[in-house]
Amino acid sequence: MADSRDEPLVLGIETSCDETGVGVVRGTTLLADAVASSVDEHARFGGVVPEVASRAHLEAMVPTIDRALKEAGVSARDLDGIAVTAGPGLAGALLVGVSAAKAYAYALGKPLYGVNHLASHICVDQLEHGALPEPTMALLVSGGHSSLLLSTDITADVRPLGSTIDDAAGEAFDKIARVLDLGFPGGPVIDRYAREGDPAAIAFPRGLTGPRDPVYDFSFSGLKTAVARWIEAKRAAGEEVPVRDVAASFQEAVVDVLTRKAVRACRDEGVDHLMIGGGVAANSRLRALAQERCEAAGIRLRVPRPKLCTDNGAMVAALGAEMVARGRAASDWDLSADSSLPVTDPHVPGTAAAHDHVHEVSKENLYS
Ligand code: KG4
Ligand code: ZN
Protein backbone atom coordinates (compact mmCIF):
# COMPACT_ATOMS: atom_id res chain seq x y z
CA MET A 1 0.00 0.00 0.00
CA ALA A 2 1.15 3.52 -0.65
CA ASP A 3 0.15 4.61 2.86
CA SER A 4 1.44 3.34 6.17
CA ARG A 5 -2.12 2.63 7.25
CA ASP A 6 -3.19 -0.64 5.67
CA GLU A 7 -6.53 0.51 4.29
CA PRO A 8 -6.61 0.99 0.53
CA LEU A 9 -6.88 4.52 -0.86
CA VAL A 10 -9.11 4.42 -3.93
CA LEU A 11 -10.55 6.99 -6.32
CA GLY A 12 -13.92 6.14 -7.89
CA ILE A 13 -15.50 7.52 -11.04
CA GLU A 14 -19.25 7.33 -11.75
CA THR A 15 -20.80 8.38 -15.08
CA SER A 16 -23.63 5.90 -15.65
CA CYS A 17 -26.36 8.54 -15.96
CA ASP A 18 -26.39 12.34 -15.56
CA GLU A 19 -24.06 12.78 -12.59
CA THR A 20 -20.30 13.02 -13.01
CA GLY A 21 -19.24 11.70 -9.62
CA VAL A 22 -15.69 11.36 -8.32
CA GLY A 23 -15.09 10.09 -4.80
CA VAL A 24 -12.02 9.25 -2.75
CA VAL A 25 -12.19 6.63 -0.03
CA ARG A 26 -9.70 5.09 2.37
CA GLY A 27 -11.08 1.66 3.32
CA THR A 28 -14.54 2.49 4.61
CA THR A 29 -13.77 6.16 5.30
CA LEU A 30 -15.10 8.81 2.96
CA LEU A 31 -12.48 11.45 2.12
CA ALA A 32 -14.13 13.26 -0.81
CA ASP A 33 -17.35 13.18 -2.78
CA ALA A 34 -17.35 15.59 -5.74
CA VAL A 35 -20.38 15.62 -8.03
CA ALA A 36 -21.11 17.68 -11.14
CA SER A 37 -24.67 17.17 -12.36
CA SER A 38 -26.10 17.90 -15.79
CA VAL A 39 -29.66 17.49 -14.45
CA ASP A 40 -30.63 21.10 -15.30
CA GLU A 41 -29.72 20.52 -18.95
CA HIS A 42 -32.20 17.60 -19.09
CA ALA A 43 -35.04 19.23 -17.16
CA ARG A 44 -36.73 20.77 -20.19
CA PHE A 45 -36.84 17.34 -21.90
CA GLY A 46 -38.45 15.68 -18.87
CA GLY A 47 -35.80 12.95 -18.78
CA VAL A 48 -32.10 12.32 -19.28
CA VAL A 49 -30.89 12.84 -22.87
CA PRO A 50 -27.94 10.43 -23.34
CA GLU A 51 -25.93 12.59 -25.77
CA VAL A 52 -26.25 15.64 -23.55
CA ALA A 53 -25.16 13.58 -20.53
CA SER A 54 -22.08 12.19 -22.34
CA ARG A 55 -20.91 15.63 -23.42
CA ALA A 56 -21.42 17.03 -19.93
CA HIS A 57 -19.36 14.15 -18.44
CA LEU A 58 -16.54 14.91 -20.86
CA GLU A 59 -16.45 18.55 -19.81
CA ALA A 60 -16.78 17.87 -16.09
CA MET A 61 -14.42 14.90 -15.78
CA VAL A 62 -10.97 16.42 -15.23
CA PRO A 63 -12.15 19.34 -13.03
CA THR A 64 -14.21 16.94 -10.89
CA ILE A 65 -11.26 14.55 -10.44
CA ASP A 66 -9.04 17.49 -9.44
CA ARG A 67 -11.67 18.75 -7.02
CA ALA A 68 -12.06 15.33 -5.37
CA LEU A 69 -8.30 14.85 -4.90
CA LYS A 70 -7.99 18.35 -3.44
CA GLU A 71 -10.97 17.82 -1.12
CA ALA A 72 -9.44 14.52 0.06
CA GLY A 73 -6.06 16.15 0.56
CA VAL A 74 -4.27 13.32 -1.23
CA SER A 75 -2.04 13.08 -4.27
CA ALA A 76 -3.02 10.88 -7.22
CA ARG A 77 0.33 9.13 -6.77
CA ASP A 78 -0.74 7.80 -3.35
CA LEU A 79 -3.78 5.95 -4.70
CA ASP A 80 -3.88 2.15 -4.45
CA GLY A 81 -6.36 1.85 -7.30
CA ILE A 82 -8.85 3.56 -9.56
CA ALA A 83 -12.39 2.23 -9.72
CA VAL A 84 -14.98 3.10 -12.33
CA THR A 85 -18.58 2.17 -13.06
CA ALA A 86 -18.37 -0.30 -15.96
CA GLY A 87 -22.19 -0.75 -16.08
CA PRO A 88 -25.12 -0.91 -16.12
CA GLY A 89 -26.10 2.52 -17.42
CA LEU A 90 -26.12 4.69 -20.54
CA ALA A 91 -23.48 3.31 -22.93
CA GLY A 92 -22.04 6.63 -24.09
CA ALA A 93 -22.01 8.09 -20.60
CA LEU A 94 -20.29 5.00 -19.14
CA LEU A 95 -17.68 5.13 -21.88
CA VAL A 96 -16.52 8.61 -20.80
CA GLY A 97 -15.90 7.38 -17.25
CA VAL A 98 -14.23 4.14 -18.32
CA SER A 99 -11.91 5.99 -20.74
CA ALA A 100 -10.95 8.55 -18.11
CA ALA A 101 -10.33 5.86 -15.48
CA LYS A 102 -8.13 3.91 -17.88
CA ALA A 103 -6.13 6.99 -18.82
CA TYR A 104 -5.47 7.95 -15.19
CA ALA A 105 -4.78 4.39 -14.08
CA TYR A 106 -2.37 3.76 -16.95
CA ALA A 107 -0.54 7.06 -16.55
CA LEU A 108 -0.24 6.63 -12.79
CA GLY A 109 0.62 2.94 -12.93
CA LYS A 110 -2.33 1.98 -10.72
CA PRO A 111 -4.66 -1.02 -10.96
CA LEU A 112 -8.02 -0.39 -12.61
CA TYR A 113 -11.28 -1.82 -11.22
CA GLY A 114 -14.38 -1.80 -13.42
CA VAL A 115 -17.26 -2.18 -10.96
CA ASN A 116 -21.02 -2.66 -11.03
CA HIS A 117 -23.22 0.40 -10.43
CA LEU A 118 -25.82 -1.57 -8.45
CA ALA A 119 -23.29 -3.26 -6.17
CA SER A 120 -21.79 0.22 -5.58
CA HIS A 121 -25.19 1.54 -4.44
CA ILE A 122 -25.13 -1.19 -1.78
CA CYS A 123 -21.44 -0.93 -0.82
CA VAL A 124 -21.66 2.84 -0.25
CA ASP A 125 -23.34 2.14 3.08
CA GLN A 126 -19.95 1.02 4.43
CA LEU A 127 -18.99 4.70 4.40
CA GLU A 128 -21.96 5.50 6.63
CA HIS A 129 -22.40 2.49 8.91
CA GLY A 130 -19.15 0.49 8.62
CA ALA A 131 -18.59 -2.99 7.17
CA LEU A 132 -21.67 -4.56 5.60
CA PRO A 133 -23.02 -7.54 7.54
CA GLU A 134 -22.89 -10.81 5.62
CA PRO A 135 -25.45 -11.66 4.47
CA THR A 136 -27.24 -8.36 3.78
CA MET A 137 -30.60 -7.97 2.07
CA ALA A 138 -30.61 -4.93 -0.21
CA LEU A 139 -33.58 -3.08 -1.62
CA LEU A 140 -32.20 -1.13 -4.55
CA VAL A 141 -34.51 1.54 -5.85
CA SER A 142 -33.38 4.08 -8.44
CA GLY A 143 -34.42 5.72 -11.69
CA GLY A 144 -33.40 2.65 -13.67
CA HIS A 145 -33.76 -0.24 -11.22
CA SER A 146 -35.92 -1.70 -8.47
CA SER A 147 -34.58 -4.95 -7.08
CA LEU A 148 -34.30 -7.09 -4.03
CA LEU A 149 -30.78 -8.48 -3.78
CA LEU A 150 -29.18 -10.84 -1.32
CA SER A 151 -25.45 -10.42 -0.86
CA THR A 152 -23.09 -12.61 1.15
CA ASP A 153 -20.00 -10.78 -0.18
CA ILE A 154 -20.46 -7.51 -2.04
CA THR A 155 -17.30 -8.10 -4.12
CA ALA A 156 -18.28 -11.56 -5.29
CA ASP A 157 -21.80 -12.73 -4.52
CA VAL A 158 -24.94 -10.72 -5.24
CA ARG A 159 -28.08 -12.78 -5.86
CA PRO A 160 -31.24 -11.20 -7.30
CA LEU A 161 -34.46 -12.34 -5.60
CA GLY A 162 -36.82 -10.11 -7.54
CA SER A 163 -37.05 -6.95 -9.61
CA THR A 164 -39.53 -4.72 -11.37
CA ILE A 165 -41.35 -6.24 -14.31
CA ASP A 166 -42.01 -2.82 -15.85
CA ASP A 167 -41.11 0.66 -14.53
CA ALA A 168 -38.45 1.33 -11.92
CA ALA A 169 -39.67 3.05 -8.73
CA GLY A 170 -37.82 6.29 -9.54
CA GLU A 171 -39.21 6.25 -13.06
CA ALA A 172 -42.74 6.15 -11.60
CA PHE A 173 -41.93 9.19 -9.40
CA ASP A 174 -40.55 11.03 -12.44
CA LYS A 175 -43.59 10.20 -14.60
CA ILE A 176 -46.18 11.17 -12.00
CA ALA A 177 -44.32 14.45 -11.35
CA ARG A 178 -44.56 15.15 -15.07
CA VAL A 179 -48.32 14.49 -15.11
CA LEU A 180 -48.64 16.88 -12.16
CA ASP A 181 -46.42 19.47 -13.93
CA LEU A 182 -43.92 19.44 -11.08
CA GLY A 183 -40.75 19.16 -13.19
CA PHE A 184 -37.82 16.73 -13.34
CA PRO A 185 -36.50 14.81 -11.47
CA GLY A 186 -39.78 13.97 -9.82
CA GLY A 187 -38.71 12.12 -6.67
CA PRO A 188 -37.53 15.04 -4.54
CA VAL A 189 -40.45 17.30 -5.49
CA ILE A 190 -43.12 14.61 -4.88
CA ASP A 191 -41.42 13.89 -1.56
CA ARG A 192 -41.78 17.59 -0.62
CA TYR A 193 -45.44 17.95 -1.70
CA ALA A 194 -46.36 14.65 -0.06
CA ARG A 195 -45.28 15.94 3.34
CA GLU A 196 -48.27 18.27 3.31
CA GLY A 197 -50.71 15.75 1.84
CA ASP A 198 -52.83 12.89 3.16
CA PRO A 199 -51.39 9.47 2.21
CA ALA A 200 -54.79 7.86 2.77
CA ALA A 201 -56.73 10.40 0.67
CA ILE A 202 -56.87 8.20 -2.44
CA ALA A 203 -56.62 4.39 -2.45
CA PHE A 204 -54.21 3.76 -5.32
CA PRO A 205 -53.42 0.12 -6.26
CA ARG A 206 -50.52 -1.86 -4.75
CA GLY A 207 -48.92 -3.70 -7.68
CA LEU A 208 -48.18 -7.46 -7.53
CA THR A 209 -49.48 -7.96 -3.99
CA GLY A 210 -52.16 -10.54 -4.80
CA PRO A 211 -51.96 -14.10 -3.43
CA ARG A 212 -50.85 -15.52 -6.77
CA ASP A 213 -48.42 -12.74 -7.70
CA PRO A 214 -44.64 -13.22 -7.61
CA VAL A 215 -43.58 -12.48 -4.03
CA TYR A 216 -40.44 -10.42 -4.65
CA ASP A 217 -41.12 -8.76 -8.01
CA PHE A 218 -42.45 -5.22 -8.37
CA SER A 219 -44.73 -3.49 -10.85
CA PHE A 220 -45.39 0.25 -10.95
CA SER A 221 -46.94 0.73 -14.36
CA GLY A 222 -50.50 -0.09 -13.22
CA LEU A 223 -50.14 2.39 -10.36
CA LYS A 224 -48.79 5.03 -12.74
CA THR A 225 -51.77 4.57 -15.07
CA ALA A 226 -54.24 4.64 -12.17
CA VAL A 227 -52.81 7.93 -10.88
CA ALA A 228 -52.75 9.49 -14.35
CA ARG A 229 -56.40 8.45 -14.98
CA TRP A 230 -57.48 9.82 -11.60
CA ILE A 231 -55.86 13.19 -12.40
CA GLU A 232 -57.36 13.23 -15.92
CA ALA A 233 -60.84 12.56 -14.53
CA LYS A 234 -60.51 15.46 -12.07
CA ARG A 235 -59.32 17.79 -14.81
CA ALA A 236 -62.09 16.66 -17.20
CA ALA A 237 -64.67 17.43 -14.51
CA GLY A 238 -63.18 20.91 -14.18
CA GLU A 239 -62.14 20.22 -10.60
CA GLU A 240 -58.87 21.27 -9.05
CA VAL A 241 -56.31 18.47 -8.62
CA PRO A 242 -55.29 18.14 -4.95
CA VAL A 243 -51.59 17.87 -5.78
CA ARG A 244 -50.40 17.28 -2.21
CA ASP A 245 -52.90 14.47 -1.58
CA VAL A 246 -52.16 12.84 -4.95
CA ALA A 247 -48.41 13.03 -4.26
CA ALA A 248 -48.83 11.59 -0.75
CA SER A 249 -51.21 8.80 -1.82
CA PHE A 250 -49.08 7.82 -4.81
CA GLN A 251 -45.90 7.84 -2.72
CA GLU A 252 -47.60 5.73 -0.04
CA ALA A 253 -48.59 3.12 -2.64
CA VAL A 254 -44.96 2.86 -3.82
CA VAL A 255 -43.27 2.72 -0.41
CA ASP A 256 -45.91 0.42 1.09
CA VAL A 257 -45.12 -2.26 -1.51
CA LEU A 258 -41.35 -1.72 -1.41
CA THR A 259 -41.09 -2.05 2.37
CA ARG A 260 -43.60 -4.89 2.62
CA LYS A 261 -41.69 -7.01 0.09
CA ALA A 262 -38.28 -6.15 1.52
CA VAL A 263 -39.29 -7.17 5.06
CA ARG A 264 -40.88 -10.35 3.70
CA ALA A 265 -37.65 -11.23 1.86
CA CYS A 266 -35.61 -10.74 5.04
CA ARG A 267 -37.99 -12.96 7.00
CA ASP A 268 -38.10 -15.70 4.34
CA GLU A 269 -34.31 -15.78 3.95
CA GLY A 270 -33.58 -15.43 7.68
CA VAL A 271 -31.59 -12.23 7.13
CA ASP A 272 -31.67 -9.67 9.92
CA HIS A 273 -30.13 -6.67 8.10
CA LEU A 274 -31.85 -4.66 5.40
CA MET A 275 -29.98 -2.08 3.36
CA ILE A 276 -31.84 0.39 1.16
CA GLY A 277 -29.92 2.12 -1.62
CA GLY A 278 -30.36 4.02 -4.88
CA GLY A 279 -31.86 7.46 -5.54
CA VAL A 280 -35.35 6.59 -4.25
CA ALA A 281 -33.80 5.62 -0.88
CA ALA A 282 -33.48 9.39 -0.38
CA ASN A 283 -37.29 9.45 -0.02
CA SER A 284 -38.26 10.55 3.47
CA ARG A 285 -41.44 8.47 3.69
CA LEU A 286 -39.67 5.32 2.44
CA ARG A 287 -37.04 5.82 5.14
CA ALA A 288 -39.63 6.34 7.87
CA LEU A 289 -41.90 3.43 6.92
CA ALA A 290 -38.95 1.08 6.44
CA GLN A 291 -37.69 2.02 9.90
CA GLU A 292 -41.11 1.36 11.41
CA ARG A 293 -41.62 -1.99 9.71
CA CYS A 294 -38.05 -3.21 10.29
CA GLU A 295 -38.29 -2.37 13.98
CA ALA A 296 -41.54 -4.33 14.25
CA ALA A 297 -39.92 -7.32 12.54
CA GLY A 298 -36.64 -7.21 14.48
CA ILE A 299 -34.61 -6.26 11.41
CA ARG A 300 -31.71 -3.78 11.53
CA LEU A 301 -32.16 -1.12 8.85
CA ARG A 302 -29.23 0.59 7.13
CA VAL A 303 -29.86 3.51 4.79
CA PRO A 304 -27.07 5.87 3.81
CA ARG A 305 -27.58 9.66 4.03
CA PRO A 306 -29.54 10.98 1.01
CA LYS A 307 -26.46 12.39 -0.78
CA LEU A 308 -24.89 8.92 -0.82
CA CYS A 309 -28.14 7.33 -2.08
CA THR A 310 -28.26 9.24 -5.37
CA ASP A 311 -25.50 8.57 -7.91
CA ASN A 312 -22.04 9.60 -6.74
CA GLY A 313 -18.37 8.66 -7.10
CA ALA A 314 -17.85 7.76 -3.44
CA MET A 315 -19.95 4.63 -3.87
CA VAL A 316 -17.69 3.46 -6.70
CA ALA A 317 -14.60 4.21 -4.63
CA ALA A 318 -16.15 2.31 -1.70
CA LEU A 319 -16.63 -0.82 -3.80
CA GLY A 320 -13.18 -0.37 -5.39
CA ALA A 321 -11.59 -0.17 -1.93
CA GLU A 322 -13.39 -3.36 -0.92
CA MET A 323 -12.09 -5.06 -4.11
CA VAL A 324 -8.52 -4.06 -3.21
CA ALA A 325 -8.94 -5.06 0.45
CA ARG A 326 -10.21 -8.51 -0.55
CA GLY A 327 -7.52 -9.00 -3.18
CA ARG A 328 -9.92 -9.20 -6.10
CA ALA A 329 -8.37 -9.21 -9.60
CA ALA A 330 -8.02 -5.82 -11.29
CA SER A 331 -9.62 -5.28 -14.70
CA ASP A 332 -7.73 -5.52 -17.97
CA TRP A 333 -6.75 -2.43 -19.98
CA ASP A 334 -9.31 -3.45 -22.60
CA LEU A 335 -12.13 -3.08 -20.04
CA SER A 336 -15.23 -1.88 -21.86
CA ALA A 337 -18.42 -0.23 -20.71
CA ASP A 338 -21.30 -2.72 -20.52
CA SER A 339 -24.66 -0.95 -20.50
CA SER A 340 -26.39 -4.11 -19.28
CA LEU A 341 -23.76 -5.53 -16.91
CA PRO A 342 -25.67 -8.14 -14.83
CA VAL A 343 -26.11 -7.46 -11.13
CA THR A 344 -24.55 -10.87 -10.46
CA ASP A 345 -21.17 -9.44 -11.63
CA PRO A 346 -19.99 -7.02 -8.89
CA HIS A 347 -16.91 -6.25 -10.98
CA VAL A 348 -15.22 -7.06 -14.27
CA PRO A 349 -12.09 -9.02 -13.34
CA GLY A 350 -9.19 -9.24 -15.76
CA THR A 351 -6.46 -11.81 -16.16
CA ALA A 352 -3.18 -11.95 -14.23
CA ALA A 353 -1.42 -10.29 -17.18
CA ALA A 354 -3.11 -7.01 -16.30
CA HIS A 355 -1.22 -6.89 -12.99
CA ASP A 356 2.18 -7.42 -14.62
CA HIS A 357 1.42 -4.60 -16.98
CA VAL A 358 0.54 -2.29 -14.10
CA HIS A 359 3.90 -3.00 -12.50
CA GLU A 360 5.79 -2.23 -15.68
CA VAL A 361 3.96 1.06 -16.16
CA SER A 362 4.44 1.85 -12.48
CA LYS A 363 8.22 1.70 -12.87
CA GLU A 364 8.12 4.23 -15.65
CA ASN A 365 5.92 6.58 -13.59
CA LEU A 366 4.39 8.33 -16.56
CA TYR A 367 2.46 10.83 -14.47
CA SER A 368 4.48 13.87 -13.51
O1 KG4 B 1 -29.74 6.27 -8.20
P2 KG4 B 1 -30.13 7.48 -8.97
O3 KG4 B 1 -29.50 8.81 -8.58
O4 KG4 B 1 -29.86 7.28 -10.50
C5 KG4 B 1 -30.09 6.05 -11.13
O6 KG4 B 1 -29.18 5.19 -11.07
O7 KG4 B 1 -31.21 5.91 -11.66
O8 KG4 B 1 -31.73 7.61 -8.89
C9 KG4 B 1 -32.42 8.65 -9.50
C10 KG4 B 1 -33.89 8.49 -9.21
C11 KG4 B 1 -34.79 9.49 -9.94
O12 KG4 B 1 -35.84 8.76 -10.53
C13 KG4 B 1 -35.31 10.40 -8.83
O14 KG4 B 1 -36.61 10.90 -9.09
C15 KG4 B 1 -35.29 9.47 -7.65
O16 KG4 B 1 -34.12 8.70 -7.79
N17 KG4 B 1 -35.26 10.20 -6.37
C18 KG4 B 1 -36.26 10.14 -5.46
C19 KG4 B 1 -35.90 11.05 -4.41
N20 KG4 B 1 -34.67 11.60 -4.73
C21 KG4 B 1 -34.30 11.06 -5.93
N22 KG4 B 1 -37.41 9.45 -5.45
C23 KG4 B 1 -38.24 9.62 -4.39
N24 KG4 B 1 -37.97 10.48 -3.38
C25 KG4 B 1 -36.82 11.20 -3.34
N26 KG4 B 1 -36.58 12.04 -2.31
ZN1 ZN C 1 -27.88 4.81 -9.50
Residue minimizing CA distance to atom 13 of ligand 1: 187
Among residues 112, 142, 107, the alpha carbon closest in space to that of 276 is found at: 142
Q: What is the mean pLDDT of residues 336-357?
A: 84
Ligand 1 atom at minimal distance to the Cα of residue 143: 7
**How many A from CA of 350 to the centre of ligand 1?**
32
Per-residue pLDDT tens over the stretch 358-368: 555 554 555 54
Ligand 1 site residues, Cβ closer than 6 angstroms: 17, 142-144, 170, 173-174, 185-188, 191, 278-280, 282-283, 310-311
pLDDT score at 166: 97
Over 90: is that where the pLDDT of 8 sits?
A: yes
> At 168, which helix (H) or strand (E)?
none
Of 285, 305, 325, the one marking the end of a domain is 305
Q: Measuring from atom 10 of ligand 1, which residue has the nearest CA?
A: 143
In this prediction, residue 352 carries a pLDDT of 61
pLDDT at 358: 54
Report CA(264)–ligand 1 centroid distance (Å): 24
Report the pLDDT averaged over residues 259-288: 97
Whether residue 109 is predicted with pLDDT greater than 60 in this model: the reply is: yes
Tell me: do 188 and 266 sit in the same domain. yes
Integer Cα distance of 314 and 310 in angstroms: 11
114 and 145 in a single domain? The answer is: no
| Pair 185, 325 in one domain | no
Whether residue 358 lies inside any domain: the answer is no
**Do 243 and 149 have their domain in common?**
yes
Mutation pick for ligand 1 pocket among 123, 142, 182, 254 (CB with most ligand atoms within 8 Å): 142
Q: Greater confidence, 38 or 269?
A: 269
Residue in 278, 250, 15 with CA at minimum distance from that of residue 140: 278
Same domain, 219 and 237: yes
Cα(236) to centroid(ligand 1), Å: 31
pLDDT score for 289 = 98
pLDDT tens per residue, range 48-91: 889 888 999 999 999 999 999 999 999 999 999 999 999 999 99
User: What residues does the ion ligand 2 have nearby, CB within 5 Å?
Assistant: 142, 311
* 356 domain-assigned: no
Question: Which ligand lies nearest the alpha carbon of 279?
Answer: 1
Q: Using CA atoms, how far apart are residues 102 and 100, in angstroms rounded to an integer?
A: 5
Say how many C-beta atoms besides its own lie within 10 A of residue 307's C-beta.
11
Which tens digits make up the pLDDT trace of 311-325? Answer: 999 999 999 999 999
Identify the bridge partners of residue 273 per DSSP, sorted by sequence position.
300
The answer to whether residue 361 is domain-embedded is no
In this prediction, residue 12 has a pLDDT band, given cuts at 50, 70 and 90, of very high
**Rounded-to-integer distance, Cα 248 and Cα 189, Å:** 11
Q: Which atom from ligand 1 is nearest to the alpha carbon of 173?
A: 14
Residue 232 domain-assigned (yes or no) = yes
What atom in ligand 1 is closest to the CA of residue 168? 12
Whether 63 and 185 share a structural domain? no
- Whether residues 147 and 120 fall in one domain: no
DSSP string over 251-292: HHHHHHHHHHHHHHHHHHHT--EEEEESGGGG-HHHHHHHHH
> How does pLDDT run across 278-289, given as a tens digit for each residue?
999 999 999 999
What was the pLDDT predicted at 357?
Answer: 52
- Residue 364, domain member (yes or no): no
For residue 120, the CA-to-ligand 2 centroid distance in Å is: 9
How high is the pLDDT of residue 119? 97
CA-to-CA dists, residue 18 to 89, 138, 207, 311, 312, angstroms? 10, 23, 29, 9, 10
Pocket test for ligand 1, best of 94, 280, 286, 287 (most atoms within 8 A of CB): 280
Q: What's the whole-number average pLDDT of the chain?
A: 93
Contact status, residue 58 vs residue 96, Cβ threshold 8 Å? yes
Select from 68, 57, 56, 55 the least CA-distant residue to 22.
Answer: 68
CATH number for the domain that contains residue 14: 3.30.420.40
As a whole number of angstroms, the distance between CA 162 and CA 217 comes to 5
| Model pLDDT for residues 155-196, shown as the tens digit of each residue | 999 999 999 999 999 999 999 999 999 988 899 999 999 999
> Counting ligands in written order, which one lies closest to the CA of residue 282?
1
Q: What is the Å distance from ligand 1's center to 42 Cα?
A: 14
Considering its fold, how many domains does the chain have in total?
2
73 within a domain of the structure (yes/no): yes
Confidence of residue 43 (pLDDT cuts 50, 70, 90): confident
- Domain end residue (candidates: 250, 275, 305): 305
Q: Flag whether 366 is in a domain.
A: no
Share of the chain above pLDDT 90, in %: 88
Tell me: do 144 and 213 sit in the same domain: yes
Angle at 299 between CA 30 and CA 322, to 5 degrees: 30
My answer on whether 50 and 141 are in the same domain is no
Among the bound ligands, the one closest to the CA of 307: 1
Query: Cβ contacts of residue 63 below 8 Å, gap of 6+?
Result: 36
- The values of phi and psi at residue 274, to 5°, are -120, 130
- Centre of ligand 2 to C-alpha 279, Å, is 6
pLDDT given for residue 41 in this prediction: 85
Q: Whose CA is nearest to atom 2 of ligand 1?
A: 279
pLDDT at 199 over 60: yes
Which of 305, 320, 340 is at the close of a domain?
305
Question: Does residue 220 share a domain with residue 104?
Answer: no
Residue 265, domain member (yes or no):
yes
Confidence band for 353, pLDDT divided at 50, 70 and 90: low
Closest protein CA for atom 3 of ligand 1:
310
- CA 112–ligand 2 middle distance (angstroms): 21
pLDDT in tens, 214-256: 999 999 999 999 999 999 999 999 999 999 999 999 999 999 9
In terms of domains, do 138 and 264 share one?
yes
Q: Is 228 exposed, middle or buried (0-12, 13-18, 19+ CB in 10 A)?
A: middle
Q: State which residues form the domain around 102.
A: 4-124+312-348
Q: Do 165 and 114 share a structural domain?
A: no
Tell me, in angstroms, the distance from the centre of ligand 1 to residue 175's CA: 12
State the distance from the centre of ligand 1 to the C-alpha of 167, rounded, in angstroms. 13
